[in-house]
Amino acid sequence: MRQSKLFTKTIKELPKDETSFNAKALIRAGFIDKVSAGVYTFLPLGLKVHNKICNIVRKEMNVIGGQEILMPALTPKEFWQVTDRWNNFDALFQLAGSDKKEYALGATHEEIITPLVKKFIFSYKELPTYIYQIQTKFRNELRAKAGLIRGREFSMKDLYSFHADEKNLDEFYELMKKVYFKIYKQCGLLNITYLTYASGGAFSKYSHEFQTLTNAGEDIIYICSNCRTAINQEIIKEQTHCPECNDKNFQKAKAVEVGNIFKLGTRFSKPFNLQYVDQNGKHKDIIMGCYGFGPSRVMATIVETHNDDKGIIWPEEVAPFKVHLIGIRNKELGIRNQIEKFYQNLQKNNIEVLYDDRDDVRPGEKFADADLIGCPYRIVVSERTLAENSVEIKKRGKEKCEMIKIDDVINYFKK
Amino acid sequence: MRQSKLFTKTIKELPKDETSFNAKALIRAGFIDKVSAGVYTFLPLGLKVHNKICNIVRKEMNVIGGQEILMPALTPKEFWQVTDRWNNFDALFQLAGSDKKEYALGATHEEIITPLVKKFIFSYKELPTYIYQIQTKFRNELRAKAGLIRGREFSMKDLYSFHADEKNLDEFYELMKKVYFKIYKQCGLLNITYLTYASGGAFSKYSHEFQTLTNAGEDIIYICSNCRTAINQEIIKEQTHCPECNDKNFQKAKAVEVGNIFKLGTRFSKPFNLQYVDQNGKHKDIIMGCYGFGPSRVMATIVETHNDDKGIIWPEEVAPFKVHLIGIRNKELGIRNQIEKFYQNLQKNNIEVLYDDRDDVRPGEKFADADLIGCPYRIVVSERTLAENSVEIKKRGKEKCEMIKIDDVINYFKK
């Protein structure tokens, strides 16, 4: 894409009430715009990153057999009354329609998916089943000052699993732990993300969170000194030993919850009477699990953990573009034509490029923009590099520049 | 995809209060589920169709230089007060947050995009600019009985254009009329969709709707007997002649509005003081246009206009799958293996297939399901067809079956 055609620009002036680093960096670089506390617009660059994160998650959910659906945001009161959560669910936005009908804005969707599955699943033959959506959620947060980390409106992948028995749920639950780490790896968060024990429900002793270390985090976790496990603040008092390795030394750290998985058991199937018929013709309760992942929050967490004083440093798989191509003195027709040819060639080879073709912007400003926006590779083409039939390639976050022959650039990215 | 893995099934029992054909057909065939009046879940098959329609629109918006963003559903009261629409906009859902902050659920987004653009566009050099989103909208409809045609929650593509002068807006507006018909063509609605004159605003005499003929429509239009133009009920009294060809004979018809375009002029740029600096350094108001298209409503309109007494007949470009492959007696290993090979080969050639591999369902039921779901091609493979190294291909909506040699099937679809 040509930067001259992008309607957004990097901006200097920030909203006064914005205190979080992720929001400040994303607003300055033109990824998001603040509409209200905890409510943001995704601008073209931001939407690209957000879609990439969503597609990583979607791909992994499809691999394990997840079926994608899309549930509504308007969820009727009567569904929440069945599970006794209309008055008890934390931070539920509630509203009334013109026919006096009351709704909650979906903050989670157990109340919608359980009666939905009841219409289609009757037999042990149809279990297990995994259904997910990537959808906008709403939470009536008292405070929303952490940028995309705690939004009043935010994106969520929520998968719900349905099983004939606990053993089958347990197996899938363990698989999902692995799948989540595969996703964090692709988001560049693997090394700083911990499987964290949290309180369970009536059905299981623990649930699990995925917590990424960052000072921007609103949570405190306790990391086992011996293994890659952590415990959250909620259960640290009763949990004196690591549930994985039994070690009893922990290190306290700030972190942000980037995912959570929970064995629901029959918490929702019982009130909705979601049952199946087993091999012997007996009616039994379906056993459920749920698996949440917030793409917009993960995007913020990447920004909080991948940056320097010049801007964002996107991991390659979620970057808005792989290459930020900068033309110097590209007003001059001879130079412009050569850069243009190079730009077309990158695109033809499926390398995503943001081409800074603006001819009224000084080189220093272009470099500053490239650092702020944070694409993994910066390529500079100028009269000087063209004299050597070369371009200058620099990895974002590194100091070193390399001169690479124009004809070798595609191979450079293929290796 | 294997039908045995699809958690939805065609269903016989419909919600009692569902009266619209589109909702009844889509629910029976397992495309959507009704959560509440005007509020639906998109099931796997329905989400596939919906995404295809969205992608047709997205592609055409990108071709004309549209930049995609994503605005929030929670839109603060103060933005609607600037334009005096908080109390005057029809069917706006309103709610309050825990900090007493009031929001409308976005029913349209002029109030969000105009202040957004004000942050980025200052000069004539940055005009024209076209920005769009595909996003969920909400309307507090008193009655919501038309299925996906009139939802309380529904999808919308809304593009907003920003221009230096009226002439530039007029040119783009004419272009968009053509682009819209390109989209309706791909959705199979071209021949029954009319450019329909509607009342304009302070800025222009007319706006335009795109109206598709169907008895399910809630609108009445008057079609010119001489040219492919219509007039809506709102303006028929004052408009005695066709604005295109001056003919004065009209034919009355029921139709559904599947899109609308509107010259906003300075209706929103004035209250938000959205201006630019022209070539002479003078400040001028930016001129705006807006262009709406409802993917979920278009999906319903396709169903209302493409069906027979057996079910839906999807146009190829929006069908959930191109081919519905039916195996007969596929319990038998010899047959099963051959069908399996054929299924894999179709997929390898990028032909989208729904493979009815269920071994506990009678052939008649499989045929009925295929008709109800409505994929463009049904392919039957049985012992009888395999004896001739063939498969039986039938187009949905046609009577005639063709026997095609297995080795010729890929070519059959390529021609």
Whether B8 shows a pLDDT value over 90: the answer reads yes
Best residue of A1, A67, A133 to probe chain B, by most B CBs closer than 10 Å = A67
The nearest CA of chain A is from the CA of B251 a distance in Å of: 36
pLDDT attached to residue A201: 82
Mutation test of the interface with chain A: which of B39, B62, B361, choosing the one with the most A Cβ atoms within 10 A?
A: B39
pLDDT tens digits along B61-95: 999 999 999 999 999 999 999 999 999 998 999 99
* pLDDT at residue B357 greater than cutoff 90: yes
B323-327 and B353-356 as β-strands: parallel, antiparallel, unpaired? parallel
Closest residue in B to A99 (Cα) is: B142
The residue assigned the tokens 């009844």 is B24
Of A42, A119, A153, the CB nearest to B74: A153
CATH architecture of B7-308: 2-Layer Sandwich (3.30)
Question: In sequence order, what are the residues at sequence separation of 6 or more whose Cβ sits closer than 8 angstroms to the Cβ of residue B340?
Answer: none
In what helix (H) or strand (E) does residue B347 lie, and over which residues does it extend? helix B333-348
ipTM reported for the complex, 2 dp: 0.97
Residues 6+ apart with CB under 8 A from A277: A122, A123, A124, A283, A284
Size of chain B in residues: 415
CATH superfamily for A321-414 is Anticodon-binding domain (3.40.50.800)
d(CA B177, CA B158): 14
Strands B377-381 and B323-327: parallel
**Which of A214, A369, A373 is CA-nearest to residue A297?**
A214
pLDDT category of residue B332 using cuts at 50, 70 and 90: confident
Pairing mode of beta strands A67-68, A129-138? parallel
What are the residues whose beta carbons fall under 8 Å from the beta carbon of A255, sequence distance 6 or more? A194, A196, A211, A212, A213, A214, A217, A219, A220, A221, A230
Half-sphere exposure in the Cβ direction for A152 (13 Å, CA) = 28
- pLDDT at site A329: 78
Longest dimension (CA), chain A: 81
pLDDT at B217 over 90: yes
Say whether pLDDT at B136 is over 90.
yes
Number of residue pairs across A and B with CB atoms under 8 Å? 137
Average pLDDT on B151-170 reads 98
Q: What is the pLDDT of residue B240?
A: 87
How far is it, in rounded angstroms, from Cα A73 to Cα B299? 20
Give yes or no for a contact between A258 and A294, defined as CB atoms under 8 angstroms apart. yes
Distance CA(A271)–CA(A20), nearest Å, equals 41
Strand order of the sheet with strand A102-105? A74-76, A102-105, A94-96
pLDDT in tens, A289-333: 999 999 999 999 999 999 999 999 999 999 999 999 999 976 777
Among the partner residues B71, B91, B121, nearest to A41 by beta-carbon distance: B71
User: Chain A residues with CB inside 8 Å of B33's CB?
Assistant: 116, 119
- pLDDT tens profile A238-281: 888 999 999 999 999 999 999 999 999 999 999 999 999 999 99
What distance in Å separates residue A273's CA from the closest CA in chain B? Answer: 17
Give the nearest partner residue to A142 out of B91, B98, B103, using CB atoms.
Answer: B98
Contact A67 B35 (CB under 8 A): no
**CA distance to A68, A202, A386, per residue, from A159 (Å):** 9, 20, 52
Q: Which of A44, A65, A95 sits opposite B95 (nearest CB)?
A: A95
Longest dimension (CA), chain B: 81
Helix (H, G, I), strand (E, B) or coil at A39: strand
Given a cut of 80, is residue B415 above it in pLDDT? no
Best B5, B94, B98, B125 member to test A by mutation, with max A CBs in 10 Å, is B98
Whether B72 and A121 lie within 8 Å, measured CB to CB: no
Q: Is the dihedral of CA A204, A210, A215, A216 positive or negative?
A: negative
Q: What is the pLDDT of residue B203?
A: 84
pLDDT at position B184 over 90: yes
The residue ranges of chain A whose pLDDT is under 70 are: 330
Q: How many residues does chain A have?
A: 415
- Rounded CA gap, A403 and A414, in Å? 17
pLDDT surpassing 90 at residue B393: yes
The whole-number pLDDT of residue B359 equals: 87
The whole-number pLDDT of residue A41 equals: 98
C-beta of residue B132 within 8 angstroms of C-beta of residue B120: no
The predicted structure's pLDDT at residue B333? 76
Beta-carbon contacts of residue A134 (< 8 Å; ≥ 6 apart)? A54, A57, A58, A68, A155, A156, A157, A295
Span(s) in chain A for CATH 3.40.50.800: 321-414
**For residues B48 and B375, is the Cβ–Cβ distance under 8 A?**
no
Cα–Cα distances in Å, from B70 out to A32, A374, B157? Answer: 9, 21, 10
Q: How far is A111 from chain B (nearest CA, A)?
A: 11
CATH superfamily label, A3-308: Bira Bifunctional Protein; Domain 2 (3.30.930.10)
Question: Which strand (E) or helix (H) includes residue A192?
Answer: none
C-beta of residue B249 within 8 angstroms of C-beta of residue B219: no
What stretch(es) of chain A map to CATH 3.30.930.10?
A: 3-308
Interaxial angle between packed helices B295-305 and B44-63, expressed in degrees from 0 to 180 and rounded to the nearest 10: 110
Examine the pLDDT at B15 and tell me if it is beyond 90: no
Q: What is the pLDDT of residue A304?
A: 98
Residue type (1 letter), B35: V
What integer best gives the mean pLDDT of chain B? 95
Partner residue opposite A97 with nearest CB, options B43, B70, B140: B140
Decide: A259 and A285 in contact? Cβ < 8 Å.
no
Chain B residue numbers with beta carbons less than 8 Å from the beta carbon of A153 are 72-74
The proportion of chain B whose per-residue pLDDT surpasses 70, expressed as a percent, equals 100
What does the pLDDT read at residue B375? 98
Find the angle CA(A144)-CA(A145)-CA(A149) to the nearest 5 degrees.
80
B373 φ, ψ (degrees, to nearest 5): -70, -40
Is the peptide bond preceding residue A363 cis, with omega within 30 degrees of 0? no
Between chains, do B7 and A70 touch, taking CB under 8 Å as contact?
Answer: no
Chain B residues close to A42, C-beta within 8 Å: 69-70
Question: Any idea what DSSP says for residue B13?
Answer: P
